[in-house]
Amino acid sequence: MSDAQSTMMLRPPIKRTMRTLDRAFFKTTVPISAARVHKIQDISEVRSKILKSKDKFVWNRIPSLKPDPDEKHAKAGGKCLLLKPEVKHDDRSTWSPTIKDLENEGTIAVIPYTLDLDYDSWTYDDIMRAILPEEDMHGDIPTGFSTIGHVAHMNLRERYLPYKHTIAQIIKDKSSSIKTVINKIDPIGNEENEFRTFQYEVLVGEDDLDVEARHQDCIFRFNFGKVYWNPRLHTEHQRIIKQFQPGQAICDVMAGIGPFAIPAAKWGRHFVFANDLNPESYRYLKDAIELNGVEPFVEPFNEDGHDFIRTSAQALALKHKRVVIKGKKPRHARQPAPETYFDRPATFAHYTMNLPGNAIDFISDFIGLYNKPFASKPQAHDDRDLPRDPRQLFEPYTAVKLPMVHVYCFCSEDDNEAAKRSICKRISEKLEYEITPDTPEVHIEDVRKVSTHKRYFCASFRLPHEVVFRNLEV
């Protein structure tokens, strides 16, 4: 028997017109062969040998060790080991040398075996390929769903919509953790939706989107329908956070519920001003700060991003903060470890702006960011020698560089180099200062493909002196 024939034997029954899931339809039997082990004490040795000779039946989650199909042998505790479909009990030419040796020794007998299969025997992919019309699949099946807590979130293509309830039910059946399956029915971040939330329909389960998610070993609890959350950005969040140095101050302009801010504070001891315009995001951001114990390092805000960029730099400079971390006492030590002090810097080292639909529009708010003396004196208990002129906070007066900006955007250019040039041009127009892909410290990261003609990028660049110190009154 060829590999193709074996594969056909183990496919589920096909019914291309199934719109309502019928689990009973998938009950079937497959004739294969098995090695009856005559003595129970030989089972382990036989299993090891046929595994090594690659004669063992290995498929999905079907165990290869089964009770003997003969009732008399089964009652006596008899077992058999399923063999791959290519092995035929009545054709010794299909037996490997290992099986022949075991049979000649009287250790096993090769017998016919009827394998009973049902809906639970097959994977999600198997079932989907059995019910979707081939012309709709185009060689692919709908697998693009995200899991957030107990919720599976789909964005089905139009050709799969007639099967949406069946697809959702199969997803729920094949994952014990999934309780609710939803399908997005409008684009995120359209003109009517400034908070990047989306309309959805519940296909299976209750309309319960209160979830708990873990991200970079941090806990987040939120209602998935009220805030923006993308579990596919885990690697991208890590990439940015790795650029932060311990103790630096970070300004997260469009923070959401804190996928940048909370891990940065928890694991890097970064000070973060975290802002989001969505009142629900702000509420869950405050919850995440408390849940993860980062209250000393993260300050939440619920402001318009334009205003936040223009006011947060002075707010940081004029409000000194020192965090004291008590040392833990080692098990056998008499004294605890010394306390660790973290003084919040007077300037931000990085700005993150993850609102790809229009974050570049906020770039113009950096013009003249430090063009005026500080509006008031530092707090009375602040013993820092803070200069009145913000210029003196940065190079060449100190070793501190101007902040890096990490701004996210979409681009429809197919060519990567053309996309980089296009993004730099858009940023330059907002800065009123030219930057290019070749400008020092400019980096354009191709984060992920969103759709056929739409990709998601992160543009990183250092704010130029000519921008932040520009006199706007001239």
pLDDT for 250: 98
- Are the CB atoms for 386 and 434 separated by under 8 Å? no
Residues 6+ apart with CB under 8 A from 42: 107
Q: Confidence band (pLDDT; 50, 70, 90) for 1?
A: very low
- Shortest CA distance to 276 belongs to which of 243, 228, 328, 324? 228
Mean pLDDT of the region 372-388: 68
| CA trace torsion 13, 19, 21, 23 (10° rounding) | -20
Task: Work out the average pLDDT over 53-74.
Answer: 91
Q: Which H or E run includes 307?
A: helix 305-318
Helix (H) or strand (E) holding 261: helix 261-268
Q: What pLDDT was estimated at residue 10?
A: 81
> How confident is residue 377, by pLDDT bands cut at 50, 70 and 90?
low
**What is the structure's pLDDT at 8?**
65
What Rg do the C-alpha atoms of the chain give, in angstroms?
Answer: 31
Beta strand pairing call for 249-252 and 271-275? parallel
Q: Of all residues in the chain, what percent carry a pLDDT higher than 70?
A: 91
Q: Please report the pLDDT score of residue 18 as a whole number.
A: 87
> Domain-by-domain residue ranges, the chain?
28-117, 124-213, 227-468
**Does 276 carry a binding-site annotation?**
yes
Angle, CA 445 vertex, CA 444 and CA 451 arms, to 5°: 115
pLDDT at 378 over 80: no
Determine the pLDDT at residue 16: 86
123 to 12, 26, 172, 253, 383: CA distances (angstroms): 10, 12, 12, 43, 65
Residue 383, pLDDT above cutoff 70: no
Are 124-213 and 227-468 in the same CATH fold? no
Mean pLDDT of the chain: 90
What span, in angstroms and rounded, lies between the C-alpha atoms of 69 and 32? 12
| Contact partners, residue 277, CB within 8 Å, separation at least 6 | 194, 195, 254, 302, 303, 304, 305
Q: State the pTM of this model.
A: 0.83
Instruction: Label residue 466 exposed, middle or buried (CB < 10 Å: 0-12, 13-18, 19+).
Output: exposed
In sequence order, the 6+-apart residues with CB closer than 8 A to the CB of 17 are none
Give dist(CA 285, CA 276) in Å, integer.
Answer: 9
* Per-residue pLDDT tens over the stretch 84-133: 999 999 999 999 999 999 999 999 999 999 999 999 999 999 999 999 88
pLDDT at 2 over 50: no
| Residue range 249-286, pLDDT digits in tens | 999 999 999 999 999 999 989 999 999 999 999 999 99
Using the 8-state DSSP alphabet, how is residue 464 labeled? P
Token pair 């089972």 is found at 43
Residue 90 contacts residue 59 (beta carbons within 8 Å): no
The reply to whether omega before 396 is within 30° of 0 (cis) is: yes
Dist. CA 470–CA 365, nearest whole Å:
12
| pLDDT at position 4 | 46
What are the two backbone dihedrals, phi and then psi, of residue 264, each rounded to the nearest 5 degrees? -60, -40
For domain 227-468, which architecture applies?
3-Layer(aba) Sandwich (3.40)
Q: What pLDDT, on the 0 to 100 scale, is given for residue 453? A: 84
What secondary structure, in 3-state letters, does 402-460 show? Answer: CCEEEEEEEECCCCHHHHHHHHHHHHHHHHCCCCCCCCCCCEEEEEEEEECCEEEEEEE
Bridge-based pairing state of the strands 210-215 and 218-223: antiparallel
Asked which of 31-35, 189-193, 349-353, 436-440 is least confident by mean pLDDT, the reply is: 189-193
| Cα–Cα distance measured from residue 209 to residue 226, given in angstroms and rounded to the nearest whole number | 9
CATH number of 124-213: 3.30.300.110
- The total of other beta-carbon atoms located within 10 Å of residue 94's CB is 18
Q: Tens digits of per-residue pLDDT, 136-185?
A: 656 567 767 889 999 999 988 888 899 999 999 999 999 999 999 999 98
* Phi/psi at 418 (5° precision): -65, -40
Q: Confirm whether residue 277 is marked as ligand binding.
A: yes
pLDDT of residue 436: 97
Find out whether 247 is annotated in a ligand binding site.
no
> Is residue 292 annotated as involved in ligand binding?
no
Closest to 127 (Cα-Cα) out of 14, 7, 46 = 14
Is 210 marked as a binding-site residue? no
pLDDT above 90 covers a percentage of the chain that reads 72
Q: Determine the pLDDT at residue 401.
A: 96
Q: What is the DSSP string of 323-338?
A: EEEPPPPPTT-SSPPP
Side-chain-side CA neighbours of residue 405 (13 Å): 26
- Cβ–Cβ < 8 Å for 258, 285: yes
* DSSP secondary structure string for all residues of 210-245: EEEEEETTEEEEEETTTS---GGGHHHHHHHHTTSP
Per-residue pLDDT, averaged over 326-355, amounts to 83
Per-residue model confidence as pLDDT tens digits over 174-231: 999 999 999 998 655 444 467 888 889 999 999 999 999 999 999 999 999 999 998 8
275 is known to lie in a ligand binding site: no
What would the 3-class secondary structure string for 119-169 be?
HHHCCHHHHHHHHCCHHHHCCCCCCCEEEECCEEEECCCHHHHHHHHHHHH
For 313-324, what is the mean pLDDT? 89
What CATH architecture is 28-117?
2-Layer Sandwich (3.30)
